[in-house]
């Protein structure tokens, strides 16, 4: 089964209207690539970003959504509202949300199910802390997070899994190729056991992905793309990552 390759950028709480100028080169790269390209900006930039990319082959997504469809949830955004603004994807369960907002696997699962109901593709994030890695618990932690966070109704068409070791996010550190391969092999096996099309679910790696290491990471088995943080803010950094993914085999 073929697996769709995806280069996804997470702008986190960065960017403004002037930053949208970076999109022009990204759209051009996306149109020349066979892989899918996605940018997830702060919520206030979703609609203007959608307008900026227009008919270009670049998707726009959100960074979070509420599990409820509507209601008295001041400051939150419903999945349907993201969809209405033009988003096609939403990142859920990122380690910064889990750590800063106390999100549990059950919370992430509920949000992912809301995203699927609204017609969004859910990018479900998993990752171990440095303490968990040092204790030799990485595979148990990742397996537990996958089992607890995977939404009902998940398919290869509506769900993406992103492995982001917490200790590698924004630190400049990356796991070894063998460490990444071990986790991605586990994810592929468990998804294949749980879903009829689990062998085709896109698996992304995230955590200090940059132009200098992208090709090496994309050569690892079962790595189908990346969830990129800081390097997705500027075209000069993100475009080479898109091209590296497009050139990767498998």
Active-site residues, by number, are 94, 164
* Structural contact between residues 64 and 92, judged by C-beta atoms closer than 8 angstroms: yes
Alpha-carbon distance of 201 to 223, in angstroms, equals 11
The alpha carbon of residue 42 and the mean position of all alpha carbons in its chain are separated, in whole angstroms, by: 14
Q: Which residues contact 21 (CB under 8 A, 6 or more apart)?
A: none
Unique residue bearing structure tokens 């109901």: 117
Give all strands (DSSP E) within the chain, no chain letters. 6-10, 36-40, 59-62, 89-92, 121-126, 159-163, 203-206, 225-228
Please, what sign has the CA dihedral across residues 201, 203, 204, 207?
positive
Buried b (16+ CB within 10 A) or exposed e, 28-53: bbbeebebbbbbbbbbebbeebbebb
């Amino acid at each position: 089964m073929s697996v769709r390759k995806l280069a996804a950028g997470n702008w986190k709480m960065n960017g403004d209207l002037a930053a949208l100028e970076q999109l022009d080169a990204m759209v051009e790269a996306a149109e020349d690539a066979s892989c899918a390209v996605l940018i997830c900006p702060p919520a206030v930039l979703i609609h203007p970003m959608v307008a900026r990319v227009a008919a270009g082959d670049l998707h726009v997504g959100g960074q979070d959504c509420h599990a409820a469809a509507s209601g008295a949830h001041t400051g939150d955004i419903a999945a349907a509202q993201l969809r209405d603004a033009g988003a096609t994807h939403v990142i859920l369960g990122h380690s910064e949300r889990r750590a800063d907002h106390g999100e549990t696997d059950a919370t992430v699962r509920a949000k992912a199910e809301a995203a699927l109901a609204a017609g969004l593709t859910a990018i479900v994030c998993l990752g171990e802390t440095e303490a968990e890695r040092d204790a030799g618990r990485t595979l148990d932690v990742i397996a537990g997070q996958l089992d607890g966070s995977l939404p009902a109704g998940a398919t290869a068409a509506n769900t993406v899994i992103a492995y982001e070791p917490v200790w590698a996010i924004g630190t400049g550190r990356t796991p070894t190729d063998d460490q990444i391969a071990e986790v991605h092999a586990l994810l592929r096996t468990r998804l294949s056991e749980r879903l009829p099309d689990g062998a085709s679910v896109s698996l992304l790696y995230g955590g200090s992905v940059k132009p200098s290491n992208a090709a090496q990471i994309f050569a690892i088995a079962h790595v189908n793309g990346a969830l990129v943080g800081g390097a997705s803010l500027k075209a000069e950094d993100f475009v080479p990552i898109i091209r590296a993914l497009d050139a990767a085999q498998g």
